[in-house]
């Protein structure tokens, strides 16, 4: 029914008007054939309503008048006689007023309906804009944090570590000078050098966690390999990285996101899945490049607790940002399988390392 009305709305006004007139004419004919004693006046409303709804209230008024005229002619033609000429006029005016009231009501209803539709459209558009804006912001936020992390990491590595190296050298000079003077303080200076060296180690580790993937195209392979080793050592699991043929990334941001996805997936596998064996793979085919993390843990629960969805969402988000297709699902046999598939870029030119 609704679909039928929608179809009618899409037709031109002329078609609707013609339909209304045809209905009025048909009802007038039936009215004439059934005789003047049976009143058909209410059925003309069908044509009137059609005209109001699909064309407009003035057209509705016009069809109302047409209906009254047709009704009168029908009655006279089928032999109606009145004691006074005022009576048919009175009847016609009453009927016309009734029709016009209906026309007015329908026109109002129609305009409310239209307003509501317009409002819904407007709100939907506003909401769509807002969603797009929020997505843009989220992306921006992730990018900023990534960029800042990288900057801090690089600063730590390039400035602070170098500075501390200078400090260890200065300490060493001091130690040797004190030793030359046969002062027992030399040992203290030596210990100080050791402490600063530990400081270098700490800031290097920090820098590594902030900025794990080196800028070179083969950086991701190296970083994932190193990460698999570190994770195995740190969490006492068997985490391996496999990559059959070299997979290069010329965009450090893409490599960075993939690294974080792998990191998050491995972290989840250990923390929530209690996995013992984890395999990180980088595969390239003609159509795509795929990062996959497969573990033998408990697998994703059917319904995640509220505080756990965030990691998955961020992984999906990172994947979306680099144009990838993200999937995290319970493996048929056991454990979880997280994948991020990137469409292969057609290499345009030689890409020297």
Partner 1 sequence: MNKPKVKIYLVDDHPLVREWLTNLIHQQPDLLVCGESEDAPHALQEIPATKPDVAIVDISLKHGSGIELIKNLKAMFPGVAVIVLSMHDERLYAERALRAGARGYIMKRETAKKVITAIRQVLAGKIYMSESLAAVFAEKFVDGRLPAGGSLVEQLSDRELETFQLLGRGYETRQVAEMMSVSMKTVQAHCAHIKEKLRLTNAAELLREAVRWQENHPSS
Contacting positions for partner 1 (CB under 8 A): 157-158, 161-163, 165-173, 176-177, 193, 197, 200-201, 204, 218, 221-222, 225-226, 241-248, 282, 284-286, 344, 347, 350-353
Place of tokens 């006004």: 13
Pick between residue 212 and residue 297 the one whose CB is nearest to partner 1. Answer: 212
> Residue 225 CB, nearest distance to partner 1 (Å)?
6
Query: Which residue, 334, 314, 310, 335, is CA-closest to 326?
Result: 314
> Residue 272 CB, nearest distance to partner 1 (Å)?
28
Which residues, in sequence order, are bridge partners of residue 288?
343
Residue 82 sits at the vertex; the CA angle it makes with 81 and 84, to the nearest 5 degrees, is 145
Question: Is-contact 146 253, C-beta < 8 A?
Answer: yes
> Residue 344 CB, nearest distance to partner 1 (Å)?
6
Pick between residue 94 and residue 345 the one whose CB is nearest to partner 1. Answer: 345
Query: Which residue, 249, 277, 274, is CA-closest to 340?
Result: 249
Q: Which residues of 46-56 are buried (b: 16+ CB within 10 A; e: fewer)?
A: ebbbbbbbbbb
> Residue 149 CB, nearest distance to partner 1 (Å)?
18
Pick between residue 79 and residue 246 the one whose CB is nearest to partner 1. Answer: 246
Other beta carbons within 10 angstroms of residue 189's beta carbon come to 20
> Residue 268 CB, nearest distance to partner 1 (Å)?
24
Pick between residue 184 and residue 347 the one whose CB is nearest to partner 1. Answer: 347
Dihedral angle at the C-alpha atoms of 3, 9, 12, 16, nearest 10 degrees? 90
Pick between residue 172 and residue 327 the one whose CB is nearest to partner 1. Answer: 172
């Amino acid at each position: 029914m609704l679909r039928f009305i929608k179809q009618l709305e899409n037709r031109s006004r002329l078609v609707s008007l013609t339909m209304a007139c045809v209905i009025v004419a048909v009802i007038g004919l039936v009215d004439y054939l059934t005789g003047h004693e049976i009143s058909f006046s209410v059925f003309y409303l069908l044509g009137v309503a059609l005209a109001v709804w699909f064309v407009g209230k003035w057209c509705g008024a016009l069809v109302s008048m047409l209906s009254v005229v047709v009704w009168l002619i029908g009655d006279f033609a089928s032999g109606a006689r009145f004691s006074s000429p005022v009576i048919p006029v009175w009847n016609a005016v009453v009927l016309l007023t009734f029709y016009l009231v209906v026309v007015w009501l329908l026109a109002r209803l129609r305009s409310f309906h239209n307003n509501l539709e317009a409002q819904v459209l407007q709100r939907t558009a506003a909401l769509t804009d807002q969603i797009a804006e929020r997505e843009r912001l989220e992306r921006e936020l992730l990018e900023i944090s990534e960029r800042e992390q990288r900057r801090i990491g690089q600063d730590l590595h390039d400035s602070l570590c170098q500075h501390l190296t200078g400090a260890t050298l200065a300490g060493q000079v001091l130690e040797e000078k004190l030793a030359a003077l046969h002062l027992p303080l030399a040992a203290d200076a030596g210990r100080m050098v050791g402490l600063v060296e530990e400081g270098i180690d700490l800031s290097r580790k920090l820098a590594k966690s902030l900025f794990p993937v080196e800028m070179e195209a083969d950086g991701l392979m190296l970083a994932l390999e190193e990460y698999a080793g570190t994770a195995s050592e740190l969490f006492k699991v068997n985490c391996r990285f496999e990559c059959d043929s070299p997979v290069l990334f010329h965009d450090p941001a893409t490599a960075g996101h993939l690294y974080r996805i792998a990191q998050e997936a491995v972290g989840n596998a250990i923390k929530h899945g209690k996995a013992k064996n984890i395999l990180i793979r980088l595969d390239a085919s003609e159509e795509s490049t795929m990062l996959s993390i497969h573990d033998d843990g408990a697998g994703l629960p059917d319904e995640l607790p509220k505080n756990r969805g965030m990691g998955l969402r961020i992984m999906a988000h990172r994947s979306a940002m680099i144009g990838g297709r993200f999937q995290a699902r319970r493996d048929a046999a056991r454990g979880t399988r997280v994948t991020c598939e990137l469409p292969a870029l057609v290499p345009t030119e030689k890409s020297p390392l």
